[in-house]
Amino acid sequence: MHRDSDRFKLFSRRAALLGGGQALLLSGLVARMYYLQVVESDRYKTLADENRINFRLLPPPRGRILDRNGLHLAVNQQNYRVVLIREQTPDIAKTLQALGALIRISKSDQKRILREVKRKRSFVPVTVRENLTWEEVARIEVNTPDLPGVMIDVGQSRNYPDGADMAHVLGYVAAVSEAELTGDPLLELPGFRIGKAGVEKVHDLALRGSGGTSQIEVNALGRVIREISRREGEPGADVHLSIEKDIQKAASIRMGEESASAVVMDIHTGEVLALASTPSFDPNAFDKGLSAEDWRALTNNPRAPFSNKAIAGQYSPGSTFKMVVALAALEKGVISPSQRVFCQGHTELGDAKFHCWKRDGHGLMDMSAAISQSCDVYFYEIARRTGIERIASMARRFGMGETLNLDLPGESKGLVPDPAWKRATVGGPWHPGETLLAGIGQGYILTTPLQLAVMMSRLVNGGRAVFPRLTHSVTGVPEDVPRETPDNLGVNPAYLKIIRDAMAAVVNDPSGTAYRSRIDTPGMTIGGKTGTSQVRRISRAEREVGVVKNEDLPWEQRDHALFVGYGPIESPRYAISVVVEHGGSGSRAAAPVARDILREVIRRDPVSAPPAGAETVTASKAEGQPWE
């Protein structure tokens, strides 16, 4: 009995301990559940929503680029693309074969599709082809029952309505490379495009805008169930340029497939109305994707279609530089406008002989005649008297030898040489003969077509230091609006008038080198200066037997043709420069191009345009005028 009592007491203690333990565990469990469900409820609710709800970044519409009149230069258009969803396609090869019968799918596209199908999750769409035509979309939609897993998606792509005419100004957009990733999540979106050249690159951040967000519900595998909310992004800013679309197109058409460039400027404001470079390329191809064959054709073209020759091309200015030399000589006082120099066809310096383009010489030349007939001997002489330092200083005042900070990438600075430059670069002294060559715009001197247009603007606007500008505003906000009165270059106005009148004679006097390119319509007359820049050395032996004509030389050995001009003469407002690479004579190749472009510019100007019905009369090409 006593033993049974002891056993009962032992059992009761164990039961009590077990019950207490269970109660303790239950209390801990209840406390934990209370902590999770009450104290931490907000945190775990958030975590659960994050597993169920995804946020996706939405690319914003890219801003437009417009000309000075609001005409579209770069816009967005709907991009119809066909996509393939693997989990809905029992046989991918068979589906691609059926789709290939409706639209063109290249072998490279097929390899890319199969590669992406293996890499991506089965429910993620894979792009088969972009930029479908409406006819292609219709064919696919009609055959949808026979194309399991194939669907049409709609996005946006960049479009340049004028194609090659605007390519060097606008640039283009393309996919983001790994080196261009900056941490901006927009750049990591599939198919997102950024500016790679031109205005698209310069104003990329403003054009890009800011992304929106889409809140979507997904299941445990990440498959989209439904869209819960959507906030559209901020569209990119519109960029308004000073370019006038029709003038730019006219310049490109007039130059054709020549390796050439043209710049048209407002001489008072510096606004660039045209900045054309030919041959060009289609910027739309970069958004769609260039084939390897097309890329090789562009890069191997000896006429360099990718190069914006208007700002990056560097050329000896030839005789278009003679106005700068004349101003330097007048300012130093080494010659007067009426003082004459005799040209017998050449001049001598030591053992060297420097030739004039006119073999038999021009005879007695004053400054106006020397400019209008482009006498080399006259400028050899006044360059010798003036000295290279004075010439170089005047050239820099007129915008040469420095970048002009036009809002486009790739601008070259050219070269204005002097003795200090030669010692630092070449390591030798400056020779007197090099000053003579500089006097006719040859030797070391290099300029860009943009610099030549700025030079001409400053010559005819009263000697004001106007600078070129391309961007007018970004969504209505003016960009770097120039001062109403640019700095004065400090050149005597009487000297500038002498130069301006001489340039008027170049085109309108029968003895002028550009007389064939005159415009006789009242209110549309123009002035200017021709130039021919040698790209090869003519030996003494060749001069003795006769210099080989440009047309008989290989293209790459022919002279560059140049012309700088302004108009209308009565009230100058526009300046132009034209360079035709290996075009031969400036009078034959460049001046007619500049004339036609300036005529179009003046015709479109409501202030400068002649009365309606006025006829434009130009000289016949049969007239026997001298060429320079």
Confidence class for position 394, pLDDT limits 50, 70, 90: very high
**Rounded distance between C-alpha atoms, residue 67 and residue 76, angstroms:** 16
Summarize the confidence of residues 564-573 as an average pLDDT: 95
**Sequence spans of domains, the chain:** 56-241, 245-604
Omega of the bond leading into 606 within 30 degrees of 0 (cis): no
**Rounded distance between C-alpha atoms, residue 532 and residue 579, angstroms:** 10
First to last CA, the chain: 142
Beta-strand relationship, 239-241 and 65-66 = parallel
Q: Per residue in 611-622, pLDDT tens?
A: 555 544 444 333
**Rounded distance between C-alpha atoms, residue 2 and residue 17, angstroms:** 23
What architecture does CATH give domain 245-604?
3-Layer(aba) Sandwich (3.40)
Q: Per residue in 435-488, pLDDT tens?
A: 999 999 999 999 999 999 999 999 999 999 999 999 999 986 666 555 556 789
Confidence class for position 551, pLDDT limits 50, 70, 90: confident
pLDDT > 70 in the chain, percent: 85
Name residues whose C-beta falls within 8 Å of residue 293's C-beta, 6 or more positions apart in sequence.
none
Amino acid 262: pLDDT: 98
**Counting beta carbons within 10 angstroms of the beta carbon of residue 412, is it exposed (0 to 12), middle (13 to 18) or buried (19 or more)?**
middle
Highest-confidence segment of 92-106, 308-322, 525-539: 308-322
Q: Per residue in 20-78, pLDDT tens?
A: 777 778 877 887 777 777 776 765 565 455 556 666 677 888 999 999 999 999 999 88
Partners of 353 in the β-ladder? 348
The amino acid at residue 128 is V
Confidence class for position 220, pLDDT limits 50, 70, 90: low
Q: Global pTM? A: 0.82
In 3D space, the residue among 500, 520, 621, 622 whose CA is nearest the CA of residue 564 turns out to be: 500
In 3D space, the residue among 377, 374, 396 whose CA is nearest the CA of residue 328 turns out to be: 396
- Average pLDDT of the chain, as a whole number: 86
**Placement of tokens 């278009």 in the chain:** 320
Q: Which two tokens stand for residue 271?
A: 């606004």
Residue 216: DSSP 8-state: E
Amino acid 481: pLDDT: 54
Active site residues: 319
Helix (H) or strand (E) holding 601: helix 591-604
**Fold identical between 56-241 and 245-604?**
no
Assigned superfamily of 56-241: Penicillin-binding protein 2a (Domain 2) (3.90.1310.10)
